[in-house]
Amino acid sequence: MPINVKKARDETPGATNVLHFNNAGASLMPTPVLKKVMNHLRLESEIGGYEAADKCAEAIENVYKSISKLLNCNTKEVAVIENATRAWDMAFYSIPFQKGDRILTAQAEYASNYISYLQVSKRTGVEVEVVPNDECGQISIEVLEKAIDKHVKLIAITHVPTNGGLVNPAKKVGEIAKARNILYLLDACQSVGQMPIDVQEIGCDMLSATGRKYLRGPRGTGFLYVRENLLNLLETPFLDLHAARWTSINKYEIRPDARRFENWECNIAAKLGLGRAVEYAMEWKLDHIYARIQHLAADLRKKLKNIKNVTVMDLGKEQCGIITFMITGQDPVTTQRSLHEKKINISVSIAEYSRLDMDARGIDALLRASVHYYNTEEEVERFCEAIEILS
């Protein structure tokens, strides 16, 4: 494998403390990112917050350049926002929905997104329709095509859902949306940093992502991509003196770029940390990262399937670094706590996080292990030994 695992672990302080299989929750931060955050906080303490920001103005601008390179877009199309949920909200709530409009989404949609659909439906009378899965458990492209008519205003899906291990066919969805001139919003919260993401290739109009998951950035960071030719067609949910200029007593001008979706006050240290995390991921190369992740995930799935009373619950034609499973007769939360006592980190996905999918499969909760390139084959072995004891 092209990933130098020893180097990756040497630059990950937490790798010696825990077996961390909760990268889809929040990855272990690497030393270069930690240093970037801490150095700026130290500078703020020494010369003042505003002054530190002024001194680092060029570095702050470079955050946008790094993200645009990561996504293959231009810097005018990037906004840095405090988290992925708020980034997604800023895009979604900017769309001028009217009664009779339709939103098409997938069965594996995340709770926060679906709650927003329901709220807008209640406010405006827009119809929310769920495109069923195909035989592999991912969004059915065939049904999606048939569902489109002149009333479809938006197609919005989650690229890598919170549970199920699948990668939805985002590019095929983008081809359909582009051919029919329909807005396409992609939640890439758990795919950015895990795999190569090219917004030109995918064809999405808007994309939201976080820093804390596979990008290995600090918590409280996220970003939004909005295609440049859409900016003036979207009604920004709210404005401040950063997103717009107060030009006279009764007039204001909204800034022309995607930063109209930001607000003035932000965590500069975390923002710089996000930029460093993006650069760090690109230094490793995203295709190499994804190859390593898929190798470890396949190994883990195979080993889990061979353990008595364990059922792997993953879906999809393409499967990623998220592995979901159940242990017969065991409460997932109790299992998670037992593993935590052994310094093994995983998470639990409950039905409320992805109700359409979980209810359809009759599942109340799943154990979720998520691997990254700095994890090792030995950790996979150790993890499975721990699961075997618990099962």
- CATH of residue 74: 3.40.640.10
Rg value, the chain, Cα: 21
The domain boundary, picked from 257, 283, 309, lies at 283
The domain boundary, picked from 234, 264, 283, lies at 283
Q: Are residues 302 and 156 in the same domain?
A: no
Q: Are residues 13 and 152 in the same domain?
A: no
Residue 386 is predicted with a pLDDT of 97
Q: Are residues 138 and 225 in the same domain?
A: yes
Q: Are residues 23 and 36 in the same domain?
A: no
Give the single-character DSSP code of 28: P
* Contact criterion met (CB below 8 Å) for 388 and 307: yes
Q: Are residues 313 and 279 in the same domain?
A: no
Residue 196's domain comprises: 32-283
Q: What is the pLDDT of residues 63-85, one digit of tens each?
A: 999 999 999 999 999 999 999 99
Q: What is the pLDDT of residues 5-54, one digit of tens each?
A: 999 999 999 999 999 999 999 999 999 999 999 999 999 999 999 999 99
> Which residues does residue 19 pair with via DSSP β-bridges, in sequence order?
344
The domain boundary, picked from 264, 283, 302, lies at 283
- Please say if the pLDDT value at position 164 is more than 90: no
Q: Are residues 271 and 347 in the same domain?
A: no
Q: Are residues 16 and 51 in the same domain?
A: no
* Contact criterion met (CB below 8 Å) for 313 and 363: yes
In this prediction, residue 330 has a pLDDT band, given cuts at 50, 70 and 90, of very high
Average pLDDT, the chain: 97
Q: How many domains does the chain have?
A: 2
Q: Are residues 174 and 323 in the same domain?
A: no
Neighbours of 236 (CB within 10 A): 15
**Cα separation, 184 vs 261, whole angstroms:** 17
Q: Are residues 245 and 318 in the same domain?
A: no
Which tokens belong to 115?
């709650």
Q: Are residues 18 and 99 in the same domain?
A: no
Which tokens belong to 88?
């997604």
- Please say if the pLDDT value at position 391 is more than 90: no
Q: Are residues 91 and 121 in the same domain?
A: yes
Q: 3-state SS of 127-193?
A: EEEEECECCCCCECHHHHHHHCCCCEEEEEEECCCCCCCECCCHHHHHHHHHHCCCEEEEECCCCEC
Average pLDDT on 100-113 reads 96
Q: Are residues 161 and 297 in the same domain?
A: no
Q: What is the pLDDT of residues 240-289, one digit of tens each?
A: 999 999 999 999 999 999 999 999 999 999 999 999 999 999 999 999 99
Q: What's the farthest any 2 CA atoms get from each other in the chain?
A: 72
- Please say if the pLDDT value at position 167 is more than 90: yes
Residue 223 is predicted with a pLDDT of 98
Q: What is the pLDDT of residues 208-246, one digit of tens each?
A: 999 999 999 999 999 999 999 999 999 899 999 999 999
Residue 235 is predicted with a pLDDT of 86
Please name the helix (run of DSSP H) or strand (run of DSSP E) that holds residue 244, with its range, or none: strand 244-248
Q: What is the pLDDT of residues 122-150, one digit of tens each?
A: 999 999 999 999 999 999 999 999 999 99
Predicted structure pTM score: 0.96
Q: Which residues have a Cβ under 8 Å from the Cβ of 279 and sit 6 or more positions away?
A: 66
CATH code at 349?
Answer: 3.90.1150.10
Average pLDDT on 178-195 reads 97
Q: What is the pLDDT of residues 286-303, one digit of tens each?
A: 999 999 999 999 999 999
- Please say if the pLDDT value at position 1 is more than 80: no
252 HSE (CA, 13 A, CB side): 12
**Cα separation, 325 vs 323, whole angstroms:** 7
